[in-house]
Amino acid sequence: MKSFFRVIFVSLMAIIFILPIAQSANWEKTFDLSLNATQSSYSDNWTGGEAGNLSWTANANGIFTKQMTSVLNLKNTVKLAFGQTHSQDKDTKNWSKPTKSTDKIDLESVGLFKLQSFIDPYAALRLESQFLDASVTAHKRYFNPILLTQSAGIAKEFKKNEKNNVLLRLGFAVKENINRVLQPPDSTTAKSETATDGGIEYVADAKFVLSDKLGYLGKLTVYKALFYSKKDDFMGKPEQDYWKEVDINWENGLTASISKYVQVVFYAQLLYDKQISLKGRLKQTLSLGLTYKLL
């Protein structure tokens, strides 16, 4: 039964994100591609222990919005990113195999029911994954793990104009984490394991156009689990109550346009999930690269 609903859920997500292409004339849309790269190299007779490297990151970001009916407003968000780093040995000058530096698949659809009241109900679907799971070097798994989130509740939109808006959401969310775990003793086969939890979720989405060359996108997600299907697996262990702790995901992106096709992007993400790490995790990138707006 879980597999059936999983297939239905993923199919709905696919249909929702195909609709903007099929009915492109009826959607307000933005979609851009970017490529950032840094490269350095040294000749064989260079002294000092320097080594060359090459880092690149490709991004695709899109927002598709449509007033489906007089009441229902649908907003689809696409965030895709993948990058690698290639390093050279400082002694032999041989290049090693590339390592992954960035990897993200984030698809979200939010349906906001505008009832001309102070707050409005909403329903949302979200799929998060990565292109390549390289946690076990010898056995790569693609599109693993997958986190599916279904949520519903109340929302409040603060919209100054078409370019600047903030959407606050508070509701109940059910999360399904699907992970293909490699099995011993040879760890060559993978078994799909699913963990489900549900609780209260708060989400704040912000978009600001600060000038004709400077823009900001931010997203804060705070989640408190109320039940967890795997809690019995941790009974009697020090981490038995870690799942009850509040999870935080705070993303910030600042984009500055140098010219029509060149942008500087500063991105910072703060993550806290006690089941993964007792401390907060911080990711920060600053990149200069080419960008192209398709829509």
Going from N- to C-terminal start, the domains of the chain cover 2-43+50-211
Question: How many Å apart are CA 127 and CA 129, to the nearest integer?
Answer: 7
> Do the Cβ atoms of 64 and 79 come closer than 8 Å?
no
Give the pLDDT confidence score for residue 42 in this predicted structure.
Answer: 64
- Look up tokens 């050279």; give the residue: 88
CB neighbour list of residue 217: distance below 8 Å, 6 or more residues apart: 206, 207, 251, 252, 253, 255
CB neighbour list of residue 97: distance below 8 Å, 6 or more residues apart: none
Question: How many Å apart are CA 170 and CA 95, to the nearest integer?
Answer: 49
Question: How many Å apart are CA 194 and CA 179, to the nearest integer?
Answer: 6
User: Whole-model pTM?
Assistant: 0.85
- Look up tokens 């290639």; give the residue: 86
Give the pLDDT confidence score for residue 294 in this predicted structure.
Answer: 64
Please report, in tens digits, the pLDDT of each residue of the chain (295 residues total).
444 455 455 555 555 555 555 555 677 888 888 888 877 766 666 666 667 788 888 888 888 888 888 899 999 998 989 888 888 777 777 778 888 888 999 999 999 999 888 899 999 999 999 988 888 777 788 888 999 999 999 999 998 777 888 999 999 999 999 998 887 756 667 788 899 999 999 999 999 998 889 999 999 999 999 999 999 999 999 999 999 999 999 999 999 999 888 988 899 999 999 999 999 999 888 888 888 776 6
